[in-house]
């Protein structure tokens, strides 16, 4: 089904075409008609499935008749509120509203922390129809009376699962309490577990539900490989793989902010240009790090799952799981950032001895076994593995066989099975 059949006006179809899209994704095809008719919606869709356009396009279509060129703030009340868990996602969503709404004439602005409130206050007091915001800064503005949510017609909670993971539930309740009772509510989430459904029940009214299965086979165009390596040699192996394979624009995932900072610094000191994005960096620092990565000034961007949410990196060629996620679906989310739109991508996972159970979980989810290799010079000593598995000897490092006389660089398949 082409976009022309979804009930969108010529102005929006023109903007879609200018963005290079011809056919809607599954979430867009299913969500746009529901949003257009004004119904509440609860939808499961992963990052990278086109979910932002799935709500931005029909919202702009519904409200385009309210566009006007008046300079009076009173003629531009806030009609749409989109709440996102992270600053990066807010920036991406706001850009989508600007891109798709360029021929419509509605005003929009973005509200997030880590930057001065003054410019945001100026936009809000000048009148805007669409506000994209993170919870904390939105409540700051509400407390300062620099925005009025009394005429909001549509509320969008984007990535509801992340909202809960990041502890925003109380903020969300406070935000909802500021809104008119009569409005359209849209909830998008990567998962629809019991917690997300419980949140949905507090504000959605007889919602329609869309459940887009995670595109596990997404990654038919992605070369997925796991490398078995001692935990304390992961950084060394990562540097070697980047250099030997001449990899550029490498997005590396870790589990914690501490590891993100440390790994980026170690790679940089070792001659592999790297920077990091994590929750402790200011917004200008995060934006600068992303720009350095996109421009090629650095080869590696290290990030946590939360910090990477909403990063808009076109044609990302390489994703590395430096630490294997505990939840297999996070693996799918991570590697789903590469190999998009039919392009080829590379997904590398560095698996330590104590992460083999996570690898088995990933294999079960994928319904196939990832190839597991070792690089000569970085082999794990079987005797050291036996000592650790028996509980003796702690986290001893395997001898670096091949470092002195062995030839590094050739990878060989392991016979060990990590089957489902």
DSSP 198-240: HHHHTT-SS-EEEE----GGGGGGEEEEEEE--GGGHHHHHHH
Are both 3-211 and 216-413 of the same fold?
yes
Pairs from 400-403 (Cβ < 8 Å, separation ≥ 24): 400/233, 401/377, 402/376, 402/377, 402/378, 403/377
Rg (CA), the chain: 23
Dist CA 155 CA 81 (whole Å): 5
Residue 255 structure tokens? 């589990």
Dist CA 60 CA 330 (whole Å): 31
Neighbouring CB atoms inside 10 A of 36's CB total 16
CA angle, corner 397, sides to 395 and 398, nearest 5?
A: 130
Starting from the edge strand earliest in sequence, which strands make up the sheet with 250-254, in order?
A: 274-277, 300-304, 250-254, 318-321, 345-351, 222-228, 372-375, 411-413
Residue written as tokens 């407390």?
Answer: 143
pTM of the model: 0.66
| CA neighbor of 171 nearest in space, from 114, 225, 113 | 113
- Could you give the dihedral angle defined by the CA atoms of residues 178, 182, 183 and 184, in that order, rounded to the nearest 10 degrees? 130
Fold of 3-211: Rossmann fold (3.40.50)
> Domain coordinates of the chain in residue numbers?
3-211, 216-413
Pairing of strands 411-413, 372-375: antiparallel
Pairing of strands 222-228, 372-375: parallel
Dist CA 155 CA 182 (whole Å): 11
Give the pLDDT of the chain (420 residues) as one tens digit per residue.
789 889 999 999 999 999 888 889 899 999 999 999 999 999 998 766 789 999 999 999 999 988 888 888 888 999 999 999 988 889 889 999 999 999 999 999 999 998 899 999 999 999 999 999 999 999 999 999 999 999 999 999 999 988 988 889 999 999 999 999 999 999 999 888 899 999 999 999 999 999 987 655 445 678 999 999 999 999 999 999 999 999 999 999 998 889 999 999 999 999 999 999 987 888 788 889 999 999 999 999 999 887 777 676 777 899 999 999 888 878 888 888 887 766 789 999 999 998 999 999 899 888 889 999 999 999 986 655 543 443 433 333 333 333 333 334 555 544 454 555
Dist CA 329 CA 273 (whole Å): 29
Superfamily of domain 216-413: P-loop containing nucleotide triphosphate hydrolases (3.40.50.300)
**Where in 255-344 does DSSP place strands (E)?**
274-277, 300-304, 318-321
């Amino acid at each position: 089904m082409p976009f022309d059949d979804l009930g969108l006006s010529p102005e929006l179809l023109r903007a879609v075409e200018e963005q290079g899209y011809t056919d809607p994704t599954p979430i867009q095809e299913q969500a746009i008609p529901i949003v257009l008719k004004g119904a509440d919606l609860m939808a499961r869709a992963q990052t990278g499935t086109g979910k932002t356009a799935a709500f931005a396009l029909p919202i702009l279509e519904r409200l385009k008749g309210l566009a006007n060129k008046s300079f009076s703030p009173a003629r531009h009340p806030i009609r749409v509120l989109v709440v996102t868990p992270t600053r990066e996602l807010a920036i991406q969503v706001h850009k989508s509203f600007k891109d798709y709404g360029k021929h419509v004439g509605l005003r929009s602005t973005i509200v997030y922390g880590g930057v001065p409130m003054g410019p945001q206050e100026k936009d809000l007091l000048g009148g805007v129809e669409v506000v994209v915001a993170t919870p904390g800064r939105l409540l700051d503005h509400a407390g300062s009376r620099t925005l009025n949510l009394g005429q909001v017609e549509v509320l969008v909670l984007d990535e509801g699962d992340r909202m809960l993971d990041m502890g925003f539930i109380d903020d969300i309740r406070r935000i909802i309490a500021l809104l008119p009772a009569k409005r359209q509510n849209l909830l998008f989430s990567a998962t629809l577990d019991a917690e997300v459904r419980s949140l949905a029940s507090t504000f959605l009214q007889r919602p329609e539900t869309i459940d887009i299965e995670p595109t596990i086979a997404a990654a038919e165009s992605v070369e997925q490989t796991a490398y078995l390596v001692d935990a304390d040699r992961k950084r060394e192996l990562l540097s070697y793989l980047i250099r030997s394979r001449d990899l550029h624009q490498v997005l590396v995932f870790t589990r914690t902010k501490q590891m993100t900072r440390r790994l980026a610094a170690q790679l940089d000191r070792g001659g592999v240009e790297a920077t990091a994005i994590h929750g402790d960096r200011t917004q200008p620092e995060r934006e600068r790090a992303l720009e350095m990565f996109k421009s090629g000034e650095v080869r590696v961007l290290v990030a946590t799952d939360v910090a990477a949410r909403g990063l808009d990196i076109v044609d990302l060629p390489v994703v590395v799981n430096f630490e294997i996620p505990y939840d297999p679906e996070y693996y799918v989310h991570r590697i789903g950032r590469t190999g998009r739109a039919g392009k080829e991508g590379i997904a590398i996972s560095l698996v330590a001895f104590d992460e083999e159970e996570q690898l088995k979980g990933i294999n079960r989810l994928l319904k196939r076994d990832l190839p597991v290799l070792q690089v000569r010079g970085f082999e794990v000593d079987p005797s050291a593995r036996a000592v650790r598995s028996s509980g003796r000897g702690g986290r001893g490092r395997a001898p670096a066989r091949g470092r002195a006389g062995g030839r590094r660089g050739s990878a060989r398949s392991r016979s060990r099975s990590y089957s489902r």
